[in-house]
């Protein structure tokens, strides 16, 4: 018997749908092998069968009366409330029993639940192919403003698709869970969701691990499609200026204009300027042009402003000011538009959470919820920052931090270390997480050994240690000895199972022990330095006879004793002072020490290559 049945998360969207689940390394959207995760929420009826997804989306212009999209808008709605909506839709929607509606295609008719079920079936199929196992249970998301009837209709759609809907959760809540905000214990979260055809802003209050919806606002007819329409209008003006004879109002031309507009928009989300070509094969016309991000921003600015007005409304309804918001989460493909992010950031006065793919974040949160409901643990977390510093153990048990707490991920840092013992051929890299100065007070994450380092005097090996934290929070630690090229690496997952209390305790302790830790650390470091200096002096001692007077050599000997004495005590400042004094006395022979060390290496090199 399987102990942990997989409960996938499904984002059943107006424009796009997809599923996600939790793997050992974290939550991820389920994708076609080598392909995308997103399935357009579009279906076409052909020869008594449904075609769902990308293929249906392509058919939308060729078979408009047989192609259904935006089904989500019809869920549990009566004909009255859909009057205006129906005027926009190219397919036929008619009244059915109990005030509800059905979509008519030829002689057949379908309830919105059945249509949604077809989309869910496609999502389920893709999930089963990705996971290579049958899936029977799911968590499905709905907008926060969905009423009981709409939620029930969504459950029914799941059942028709052969899925047990274990739970229905709010889309903004799912997004917040994806970012691990439910583990914060308390706070106010604003979730800004700009999709293809809808905009929602939700203000959530977190207490315990439960999100309460304080307020929602939005616009059911504002989204990326409207951006496309404005860009398409501009494209039309471009084309007509050069080809006044072009006919651009037909179905094919309109759809090509829209498609090109969307490509332009998406391209301008990552560049400031783009080139496009528009082909109208039926009119034997090819048109090439340029579009700038500035122009797109001008066009869409009023629409973006509308979303901000909604944000203000929602804040007002929740009785909150922008500065009361602890976290802002960006959701929906259109939240990738740089102007949108910029304006949202300005409104809330803080950088929004954007690390997780905005068109996958809702499904990912639902996948995490499903995983928890299936009895899964949350020992990984999708955080956009590194909660505790990461580093390695250095001589004397000190903790050298390479990546400090609160760095955003992905992150990378490297530092060079060396050996303190002659002829060390294996170097241990011991990885820790924490805020204290000594590894004994931190958490060990793993260790590995860099082997095969050629024997060299202490201080000569150059070991470059690199930490790389990927977007899933997985840490790869690599070490390479630069002179020999020997390398080794390991992958570790930071311990994210920390509760808030634990996190707070770790932080508090770090502050509490800061001064005492620092003293202790300096003492260890200075002792290590003193050892290294002594070794260097010993090595060249015989050579110094030619360079120094007996009195100078006598003074060095005496000062070495003073340093040794202070190394045995616990005052790092005094120890450092005496070491500096020793440094002054040995300065004339410093060059000898260095070239001697280099000679040793050269000798080794010749011996090896002989």
Minimum distance from residue 273 beta carbon to ligand ADP (Å): 15
Residue 171 known to be catalytic? yes
Residues counted in the chain: 610
Beta strands at 164-170 and 137-142: parallel, antiparallel or unpaired: parallel
The rounded distance, in Å, linking the Cα atoms of 191 and 437 is 38
Q: Look-up: residue for tokens 């153990």?
A: 393
How many residues at the interface with ligand ADP, by CB under 6 A?
21
| Of 84-92, 265-273, 306-314, 364-372: span binding ligand ADP (CB under 6 A) | 265-273
What does DSSP say about strands 398-403 and 390-394: parallel, antiparallel, or unpaired? antiparallel
* Integer-rounded Cα radius of gyration of the chain: 33
Residue 372 contacts residue 169 (beta carbons within 8 Å): no
Residue 260 makes contact with ligand ADP by CB under 6 A: no
496, 387 contact by CB (below 8 A): yes
Q: Which two tokens stand for residue 290?
A: 């340029």
Return the number of the residue (195 or 457) whose C-beta is nearest Mg ion.
195
Concatenating the DSSP letter of every residue in 437-500 gives: SBGGGSEEEEEEEE--PPP--TT---EEEEEEE-TT--EEEEEEETTT--EEEEEE-------H
266 binds, among Mg ion, ligand ADP, none (CB under 5 to 8 A by kind): ligand ADP
For the segment 281-310, give every residue that binds ligand ADP (CB under 6 A). Answer: none
Q: Is 72 a catalytic residue?
A: yes
Min dist. Cβ of residue 198 to ligand ADP (A)? 6
Single out the catalytic residue among 11, 360, 393, 517.
11
Minimum distance, C-beta of residue 200 to ligand ADP, in the bound complex (Å): 9
The pattern of x and - marking residues 142 through 181 that bind ligand ADP according to CB under 6 A reads ----------------------------------------
Q: Check binding of 225 to ligand ADP (CB under 6 A).
A: yes
Report the nearest approach of ligand ADP to the CB of residue 364 (Å).
13
- One character per residue 357-376, x = contact with ligand ADP (rule: CB under 6 A): --x-----------------
Binder of ligand ADP out of 220, 254, 255, 269 (CB under 6 A): 269
Give whichever of 17 and 51 is closer to ligand ADP, judged by the CB atom. Answer: 17
Find the part of the chain contacting ligand ADP (CB under 6 A) among 22-30, 110-118, 326-334, 494-502.
Answer: 326-334
Q: Which residues contact 83 (CB under 8 A, 6 or more apart)?
A: none
Output 344 or 563, the one with its CB closest to Mg ion: 344
**Judging by beta carbons within 10 Å of its beta carbon (0-12, 13-18, 19+), is residue 112 exposed, middle or buried?**
buried
**Residue nearer to ligand ADP on the CB measure, 359 or 437:** 359
Q: How far apart are alpha carbons 367 and 376 in whole angstroms?
A: 11
Smallest CA-to-CA distance from 374 within 128, 21, 25 is with 21
CB atoms within 10 A of CB 379: 11
343 interface partner picked from Mg ion, ligand ADP, none, CB below 5 to 8 A per type: none
Query: In 483-512, which positions are buried (b, 16+ CB within 10 angstroms) versus exposed (e)?
Result: ebebbbebebbbbbebeeeebeebeeebee
CA dihedral 164, 165, 167, 173 (to 10 degrees): 140
Nearer to ligand ADP by Cβ, of 262 and 552: the residue is 262
Here's the x/- map for ligand ADP, 330-349, by CB under 6 A: it reads as --xxx-xx------------
- The site map against ligand ADP for 184-223 (x = CB under 6 A) is -----------xxxx------------------------x
- Calculate the alpha carbon distances from 272 to 168, 264, 376 in Å: 40, 11, 44
The one catalytic residue in 171, 226, 435, 517 is 171
Known catalytic membership, residue 267: no
CB 195, min distance to ligand ADP, A = 3
Burial (CB count within 10 angstroms: exposed 0-12, middle 13-18, buried 19+), residue 526 = buried
Among Mg ion, ligand ADP, none, residue 160 binds (CB under 5-8 Å by kind)? none
Report CA-CA distances (Å) from 444 to 431, 439, 560.
6, 8, 37
d(CA 79, CA 329): 34
Spell out a b/e string for 584-608, using b for 16 or more CB atoms within 10 Å of the CB, else e.
ebbeebeebbeeebeebeeebeeee
Closest separation in Å from C-beta 270 to ligand ADP: 7
Nearer to Mg ion, 311 or 465 (CB): 311
- Minimum CB separation from Mg ion for residue 73, in Å? 13
Report, in Å, the least distance between residue 192 CB and Mg ion: 12
- Taking alpha carbons only, the member of 532, 516, 530 closest to residue 576 is 530
224 is a contact residue toward ligand ADP (CB under 6 A): yes
Q: Which is nearer to Mg ion, 180 or 365 (CB)?
A: 365
Among candidate residues 28, 72, 182, 437, the one labeled active-site is 72
Contact (Cβ atoms closer than 8 angstroms) between residue 540 and residue 589? yes
Q: Give the x/- contact pattern for ligand ADP in 5-44, rule: CB under 6 A.
A: --------xxxx----------------------------
To the nearest whole angstrom, how small is the minimum distance from the Cβ of residue 80 to ligand ADP? 24
Closest CA to 328 of 308, 303, 305, 304: 308
**Nearest CB to Mg ion, comparing residues 13 and 387:** 13
**198 touches which of Mg ion, ligand ADP, none (CB within 5 to 8 A by kind)?**
ligand ADP
CB 300 within 8 A of CB 339: yes
Exactly one of 28, 156, 182, 193 is catalytic; name it: 193
Q: Minimum CB separation from ligand ADP for residue 38, in Å?
A: 6
Nearer to ligand ADP, 228 or 435 (CB): 228
Residue closer to ligand ADP by CB (options 20, 477) is 20
Residues of the shown chain interacting with Mg ion in the complex, contacts defined by CB under 5 A: 13, 195
How far apart, in whole angstroms, are the C-alpha atoms of residue 178 and residue 31? 18
Instruction: Determine whether 11 is an active site residue.
Output: yes
Give the whole-angstrom CA distance, residue 3 versus residue 274. 52
The token duo for 285 is: 């016309």
- Would you please indicate which residues are annotated as catalytic (active-site) residues? 11, 72, 171, 193
Positions that interact with ligand ADP (CB under 6 A): 13-16, 195-198, 223-225, 262, 265-266, 269, 332-334, 336-337, 359
């Amino acid at each position: 018997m399987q102990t942990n049945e997989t409960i996938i998360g499904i984002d059943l969207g107006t424009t796009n749908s997809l599923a996600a689940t939790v793997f050992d390394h974290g939550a991820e959207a389920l994708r076609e092998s080598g392909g995308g995760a997103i399935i357009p929420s579009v279906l076409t009826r052909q020869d008594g069968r449904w075609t769902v997804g990308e293929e249906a989306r392509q058919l939308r212009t060729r078979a408009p009366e047989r192609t259904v999209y935006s089904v989500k808008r019809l869920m549990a709605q009566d004909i009255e409330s859909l009057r205006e909506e129906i005027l926009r839709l190219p397919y036929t929607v008619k009244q059915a029993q109990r005030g509800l509606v059905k979509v008519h295609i030829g002689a057949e008719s379908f309830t919105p639940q059945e249509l949604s079920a077809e989309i869910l079936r496609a999502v389920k199929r893709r999930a089963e192919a990705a996971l290579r196992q049958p899936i029977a249970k799911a968590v499905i998301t709905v907008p926060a403003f969905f009423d009981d009837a709409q939620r029930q209709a969504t459950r029914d759609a799941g059942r028709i698709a052969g899925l047990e809907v274990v739970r229905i959760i709010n889309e903004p809540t799912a997004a917040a869970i994806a970012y691990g905000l439910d583990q914060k214990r308390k706070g106010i979260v604003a979730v800004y969701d700009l999709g293809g055809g809808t905009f929602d802003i939700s203000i959530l209050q977190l207490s315990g691990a439960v999100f309460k919806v304080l307020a929602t606002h939005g616009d059911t007819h504002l989204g990326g499609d409207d951006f496309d329409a404005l860009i398409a209008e501009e494209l039309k003006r471009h084309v007509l200026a050069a080809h006044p004879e072009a006919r651009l109002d037909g179905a094919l031309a309109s759809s090509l204009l829209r498609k090109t507009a969307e490509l332009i928009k998406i391209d301008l989300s990552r560049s400031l300027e783009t080139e496009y070509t528009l082909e109208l094969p039926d009119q034997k016309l090819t048109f090439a042009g340029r579009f700038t991000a500035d122009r797109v921003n001008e066009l869409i600015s009023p629409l973006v402003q509308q979303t901000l007005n909604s944000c203000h409304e929602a804040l007002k309804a929740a009785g909150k000011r922008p500065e009361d918001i602890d976290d802002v989460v960006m959701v929906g493909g259109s939240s990738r538009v740089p102007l949108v992010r910029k304006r949202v950031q300005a409104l809330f006065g803080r950088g929004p959470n954007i690390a997780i793919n905005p068109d996958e974040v809702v499904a990912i949160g639902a996948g995490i919820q499903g995983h928890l409901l299936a009895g899964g643990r949350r020992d990984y977390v999708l955080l956009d920052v590194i909660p505790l510093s990461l580093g390695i153990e250095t001589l004397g048990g000190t903790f050298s931090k390479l990546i400090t707490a609160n760095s955003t991920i992905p992150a990378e840092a490297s530092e060079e270390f060396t050996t303190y013992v002659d002829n060390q051929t294996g170097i241990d890299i011991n990885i820790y997480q924490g805020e204290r100065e000594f590894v004994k007070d931190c958490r060990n994450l793993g260790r590995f050994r860099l082997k095969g380092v050629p024997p060299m005097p202490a201080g000569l090996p150059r070991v470059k240690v690199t930490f790389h934290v990927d977007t899933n929070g997985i840490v790869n630690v690599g070490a390479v000895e630069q002179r020999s090229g020997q390398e080794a690496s390991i992958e570790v997952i930071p311990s994210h199972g920390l509760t808030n209390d634990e996190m707070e305790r770790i932080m508090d302790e770090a502050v509490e022990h800061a001064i005492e830790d620092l003293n202790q650390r300096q003492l260890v470091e200075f002792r290590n330095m003193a050892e290294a200096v002594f070794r260097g002096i010993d090595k060249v001692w015989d050579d110094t006879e030619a360079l120094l007077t007996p009195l100078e050599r006598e003074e060095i000997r005496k000062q070495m004793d003073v340093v040794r004495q202070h190394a045995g005590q616990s005052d790092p400042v005094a120890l450092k002072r005496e070491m500096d004094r020793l440094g002054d006395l040995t300065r004339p022979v410093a060059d000898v020490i260095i070239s001697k060390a280099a000679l040793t290496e050269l000798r080794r090199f010749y011996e090896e290559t002989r």
